[in-house]
Amino acid sequence: MTDKTPIIQSAKARAEEIVPTLTEAQVARIAAYGRARRVRRGEVLVEAGMPTARFFVVTAGQIEIIRLSGATEELIAVYGPGMFAGEVSLLSGRRGLAQIRAGEAGEVIEVDREHLLTLVQTDSELSDILMRAFILRRVELVARGLGDVAVIGSSHCAGTLRVKEFLTRNGHPYSSIDLDRDADAQELLDHFHVTAADVPVVICRGEVVLRNPTNQQIADCLGFNEAIDQTQIRDLVIVGAGPAGLAAAVYGASEGLDVLALESNSPGGQAGSSSKIENYLGFPTGISGQELAARAYAQSQKFGAQLIIARGAKKLVCDRKPYAVEMDDGQRVSTRTIIIATGAEYRKPSLDNLSQFESAGVYYAATFIEAQLCRDEEVIVVGGGNSAGQAAVFLAQTARRVHLLVRSDRLAETMSRYLIRRIEQSPAVVLRLRTEIVALEGDYHLERVRWRDDQTGNIETRDIGHVFVMAGAIPNTRWLDGCVALDAKGFIKTGQDLSQDDLAMAHWPLARAPYLLETSLPGVFAVGDVRGGSLKRVASAVGEGAIAVAFVHQALRE
Ligand SMILES: Cc1cc2nc3c(=O)[nH]c(=O)nc-3n(C[C@H](O)[C@H](O)[C@H](O)COP(=O)(O)OP(=O)(O)OC[C@H]3O[C@@H](n4cnc5c(N)ncnc54)[C@H](O)[C@@H]3O)c2cc1C
**pLDDT tens-digit series, residues 424-461:** 999 999 999 999 999 999 988 999 999 999 999 999 99
Percent above pLDDT 90 for the chain:
67
How many residues are there in the chain? 558
Mean pLDDT of the region 112-128: 94
- On the question of pLDDT at 70 being above 80, the answer is no
Which among 538, 540, 544, 547 is the best mutation to test ligand 1's pocket, defined by most ligand atoms within 8 Å of the CB? 538
CB of 269 shorter than 6 A to ligand 1:
yes
DSSP state string for 120-173? HHH-HHHHHHHHHHHHHHHHHHHHTT-SSEEEEE-TT-HHHHHHHHHHHHTT--
Which ligand 1 atom is nearest residue 535's CA? 19
- On the question of pLDDT at 27 being above 90, the answer is yes
Confidence of residue 187 (pLDDT cuts 50, 70, 90): confident
Cα separation, 420 vs 424, whole angstroms: 6
CB of 265 shorter than 6 A to ligand 1:
yes
CB of 271 shorter than 6 A to ligand 1:
yes
CB of 538 shorter than 6 A to ligand 1:
yes
Partners of residue 449 on adjacent β-strands: 440, 462
CB of 293 shorter than 6 A to ligand 1:
no
How far away, in angstroms, is 87 Cα from ligand 1 center? 27
Q: Using CB atoms within 10 Å of the CB of residue 98, give its burial: 0 to 12 exposed, 13 to 18 middle, 19+ buried.
A: buried
The DSSP H or E segment spanning 10 is: none
Q: Using CB atoms within 10 Å of the CB of residue 346, give its burial: 0 to 12 exposed, 13 to 18 middle, 19+ buried.
A: middle
Residue nearest to atom 17 of ligand 1 (CA): 271
How far away, in angstroms, is 19 Cα from ligand 1 center? 34
How far away, in angstroms, is 267 Cα from ligand 1 center? 10
Taking only the tens place, the pLDDT of each residue in 405-420 is: 999 888 877 688 889 9
Q: What are the backbone dihedrals phi and psi of residue 58, each rounded to the nearest 5 degrees, phi first?
A: -85, 130
Least confident of 60-69, 266-275, 398-407, 510-519: 266-275
Prediction pTM value:
0.81
Confidence of residue 1 (pLDDT cuts 50, 70, 90): very low
CB of 543 shorter than 6 A to ligand 1:
no
- On the question of pLDDT at 7 being above 60, the answer is no
CB of 170 shorter than 6 A to ligand 1:
no
Taking only the tens place, the pLDDT of each residue in 515-529 is: 999 999 999 999 999
The DSSP H or E segment spanning 515 is: none
Q: Angle 471-475-352 (CA atoms, 0-180°, nearest 5)?
A: 50
Cα separation, 113 vs 264, whole angstroms: 26
Three-state DSSP class for 94? coil
pLDDT score recorded for residue 366: 84
Q: Amino acid identity of 129?
A: I
Mean pLDDT of the region 95-119: 94
CB of 270 shorter than 6 A to ligand 1:
yes
Taking only the tens place, the pLDDT of each residue in 348-395 is: 888 988 878 876 899 887 877 788 889 999 999 999 988 899 999 999
How far away, in angstroms, is 160 Cα from ligand 1 center? 23
Taking only the tens place, the pLDDT of each residue in 484-508 is: 999 988 999 999 999 999 999 999 9
Cα separation, 430 vs 423, whole angstroms: 8
pLDDT score recorded for residue 12: 72
Mean pLDDT of the region 86-99: 90
Which ligand 1 atom is nearest residue 262's CA? 43
Query: Which whole-number Å values give the CA distances from 213 to 145, 209, 223, 527, in the listed order?
Result: 20, 9, 15, 32
Cα separation, 131 vs 16, whole angstroms: 13
Q: Amino acid identity of 115?
A: H
Q: How many CB atoms lie within 10 A of CB 32?
A: 11
Residue nearest to atom 8 of ligand 1 (CA): 277
How far away, in angstroms, is 538 Cα from ligand 1 center? 8
CB of 529 shorter than 6 A to ligand 1:
yes
pLDDT score recorded for residue 4: 55
How far away, in angstroms, is 438 Cα from ligand 1 center? 28
Taking only the tens place, the pLDDT of each residue in 196-222 is: 778 899 988 878 889 999 999 999 999
Residue 522's contacts (CB-CB under 8 Å, 6 or more residues apart) are: 508, 509, 510, 514, 555, 558
CB of 475 shorter than 6 A to ligand 1:
no
Query: Which whole-number Å values give the CA distances from 288 to 19, 276, 372, in the listed order?
Result: 25, 4, 16
How far away, in angstroms, is 244 Cα from ligand 1 center? 8
How far away, in angstroms, is 383 Cα from ligand 1 center? 17
Least confident of 38-47, 116-125, 139-148, 258-267: 139-148
